[in-house]
Structure 1
Amino acid sequence: MTNLKSTFFFRRWWLRLLHVSFIFVLVSCNTHSNGQEEKNKEDGVDSSGFVDLFEGGTLDNWEGDPAYWRIENGVLIGVTTASTPPLENNTFLTWKGGELGNFELKAEFRITEKGNSGINYRSETVTDVPFALKGYQADIDGMNNYTGQNYEERKRTTLAYRGEQAVIEPSEDATVENNAWTARRIESSLGSSDSLKTLINSEDWNEIHIIANGNRLQHYINGVLMSDVTDKDEKNFMASGLLGIQIHVGPPMKVEYRSFRVKQVD
């Protein structure tokens, strides 16, 4: 009988010890998780690993002509008016946080009807033109004629129109014809440009999602894939480079960006 009681109490003691240990581990993990979440919030990192590049509501980590760029209530505003200096070349606001290689970018944008903008990535500075970039661009315009396409600023021009899955082949003879690169091969259709256009809001907020992974570059608008480029042109392909936001030469316009987030991918 004594042995049975000893065994019974030992088992109860052991179960209680396991229970207390489990609670301790659970609390420790939860504390660590909460601490990491708080640190991420302080660093501007959300639960998905995206970093808000306009955290703090300043342009301290960006470089551009202040005549055209400002932040109001956490929203980046790019604007040209009759009173701002007339643009002779497209002007860019460039992120000074370093070059991006493989990454995802998510942002919301709104643009006036006659506006023309875009997000450049894996780009280079143009040495003889102030605040200019050349490189891949997720195109955005107020009429939504080009929004979502892949246009390479100051280089090969159009790599994929909206609705195209394109492969850019290596070629010594390729050139620009009708504002498009002749060495691009259309692999498949993502839908007609006109039908995809109906999914883009005019003069209202839209979400853009850029995925750059190796030589594959995908542009999504409102969750729909609009263009898909595989760049096999080793001579012109850029594996990494600068990130920037464009105001295009043209009539007075206004473009706004908010929730501008980037996540680097290995």
Structure 2
Amino acid sequence: MTMARPARRRFLASLAGALSGATLLAQEPYVPKQSDRPEAIEGDEPGFKPIFDGKSLAGWEGDPKYWRVENGALVGEITPGTVIKSNTFIIWRGGEPADFELKADYRITTAGNSGINYRSVVVPDKVTPSNQFAMRGYQHDIDGQNRYTGQNYEEKGRLFLALRGQTTHVVGGRKPIVLSSTGDTKALAEFITSDWNSCHIIARGNVLTHILNGHLMCCVIDDDPPNRMAKGLIGVQVHVGPPMKVEYRNFRLKEY
């Protein structure tokens, strides 16, 4: 079949345009997609209630030597004159949440070591008997050098339940079993800034999830009934070590 001249001209023009576009695309540099980096997780705000007013320590209990409110933030600070021998907390006294989501922002100095405890209890402090604010329980770990930030550490308990980048299954009498990876620990650390960061803790049944700046840091499935906690206190920590400062703001809680 012979193609009519007008139709043939249109066909050749279309073909030339397609080939020209293909050549142009071939010349453009290829930029790989960042598919290996975890995508941010969106958080819903409805149902969350503030548990820190940004003006006072109302509803919180801790040693005023280390805790104060400054510029709308809950500040924990250790100075050369107030160095501690054991970890101490400021504790929210508004309840003992069981299933919940907790969100908060934090900023910490490079030498700092802190954490957000939840489903925790107050325990005696053998090192510093006068310390009335020692806690045992799950902790979203936070440190200024980001060696541990995001992991699940059980203060005064079973210790490391999940490192950053791990999903673990905890059973009695053995180390946590690593089920899968949530990402490379160094790659996840790249999402942590030296300024304000946003924590999101989700505790539902025996599943405990830590999200930081929208990225999943770790997840624990706790199948150790004699040692796990189904509910408990919330508190934030100043840790033994050199002088440091940590700031928290925008604490909000959603209970189920």
Q: 1:73 aligns with which of 64, 71, 74?
A: 71
Cα separation, 1, equivalents of 2:153 and 2:196:
22
SS in 2 for 1:194: helix
Secondary structure in 1 aligned to 2:188?
Answer: helix
Using a 3 Å threshold, how does the CA distance of structure 1 residues 69 and 168 change in structure 2: closer, same or farther? Answer: same
Residue correspondence of structure 1 range 7-46 to structure 2 within 5 A: none
Task: Name the residue aligned to 1:179.
Answer: none
Could you say what secondary structure the match of 2:193 adopts?
coil
In the aligned structure 2, how far is the partner of 1:78 from the partner of 1:136?
19
Q: 1:227 to 1:56 in 2, by over 3 A?
A: closer
TM-score, length-normalised on structure 1? 0.76
Residue 89 (structure 2) pairs with residue 92 (structure 1): yes
CA gap 1:111/1:216 in 2 versus in 1, 3 angstroms: same
Q: Does the alignment pair 1:247 with 2:207?
A: no
Q: Which residue number in structure 1 is paired with residue 207 of structure 2?
A: 216
Residues 1:163 and 2:161 are matched in the alignment: no
Asked whether the equivalents of residues 54 and 74 of structure 1 are also in contact (C-alpha less than 8 Å), the reply is no
Q: What is the TM-score normalised by the length of structure 2?
A: 0.79
Candidates 135, 140, 143, aligned match of 2:142: 140
Q: Could you report, residue by residue, the CA deviation over 1:172-191 in whole angstroms, capped at 9, with x for unpaired residues?
A: xx3xxxxxxx2x10000011
> 2:183 aligns to what?
191
Contact 2:206 2:230 in 1 (8 A): yes
The alignment's C-alpha RMSD in Å is 1.3
**What amino acid maps onto 1:158 in structure 2?**
F
**AA of the residue aligned to 2:212:** I
Report the CA distance between 1:81 and its aligned residue. Answer: 0.8
Q: Distance in 2 between matches of 1:257 and 1:48?
A: 21
CA separation in 2, counterparts of 1:231 and 1:253? 32
Distance 2:58 2:191 in 1: 35
Higher helix share: 1
- Give, in whole Å, the separation in 1 of the partners of 2:99 and 2:93: 17
Paired with 1:167 and 1:47, the residues of 2 have a C-alpha distance of 29
Shift of 1:127: 2.8
Letter of the 1:187 counterpart = L
How far apart are residue 56 of structure 1 and its match?
5.7
Matched letter for residue 184 of structure 2? S
State the distance in 2 between where 1:140 and 1:228 align.
Answer: 16
Which residue among 114, 136, 142 is the counterpart of 1:117?
114
Give CA-to-partner distance per residue, 1:198-245, whole Å, 9 cap, x none: 11102x011000000000000000000000000000110100011100
Structure 1 residue 47: deviation in Å?
A: 6.1
Which region of structure 1 is more displaced relative to structure 2, 113-122 or 124-133? 124-133
Secondary structure at 2:110's aligned position in 1?
Answer: coil
Does the alignment pair 1:107 with 2:104?
A: yes
Distance in 1, matches of 2:252 and 2:111, equals: 26
Choose from 219, 222, 247 the match for 1:231: 222
1:86 offset after TM fit, Å?
2.0
The sequence identity of aligned pairs, in percent, is: 55
Aligned pair count? Answer: 208
Q: 1:262 maps to which residue?
A: 253
Task: Give the direction of change, closer, same or farther, for the CA distance of 1:223–1:56 in structure 2 (3 Å limit).
Answer: closer
Which structure 1 segments of 5+ residues have no match? 1-45, 175-181
**Is the counterpart of residue 201 in structure 1 residue 193 in structure 2?**
yes
Q: Is residue 54–residue 69 contact of structure 2 (8 Å, CA) maintained in 1?
A: no
2:221 and 2:54 mapped to 1: Cα distance? 36
